[in-house]
Each structure stands twice: as structure tokens, then as C-alpha cells.
Amino acid sequence: MKNKIDDLRNHLFATIEALQDEDDPMDLDRARAISDVAQTIINSAKVEVDFLRATGRISASRFLEGGRELEALPEQKK
């Protein structure tokens, strides 16, 4: 699966770099659109983490942690 959290970070850093390009900076509307989409993706990942906490499951989608099993969440380690 492509498009993991690391890919999102890379896209966001590339956007920052493009905004800082003195010769040909990225259009602000385009940067805002990238930011909005990124925030939506981040929010969906937060929902997934909340689901894992609520259900006690320890596996995530391939977006988070590359699909590997996660350690037990802190509140489950007792």
C-alpha cells in the first residue's frame, strides 16, 4: 500500500519547501488545499486510533504504523 503517514509528511514538507522557493513559490491557494486535505487525513487517522482504544484492538490499517501490530495502548497495560 502506498500513501502512508510517512508519505503524507513528505508531501507536507515538500509543500513547505515549495512555499519557500524564492524564484517560483507555490500558490497559496494550492498550499491551503494541500493543508486541508492533509488535515482530513490526519483526522481520519485520529478516529482510527480512537477506535483502537475503544475496542481494545491492537492492529491498525496500513496507513498507521505500516499495518504492523501496535503495542498495547498505555491504558491497557495494567
Domains of the chain by residue range: 5-76
**Using CA atoms, how far apart are residues 64 and 5, in angstroms rounded to an integer?**
6
Number of C-beta neighbours around residue 62 at 10 A: 13
Question: Residue 42: what residue type?
Answer: I
- The answer to whether 60 and 70 have CB atoms below 8 angstroms apart is yes
pTM (global) more than 0.75: no
Q: To the nearest whole number, what is the mean pLDDT of the chain?
A: 83
Question: Residue 27: what residue type?
Answer: D
Summarised one tens digit per residue, pLDDT across range 39-76 is 999 999 899 889 888 988 877 677 775 444 455 555 55
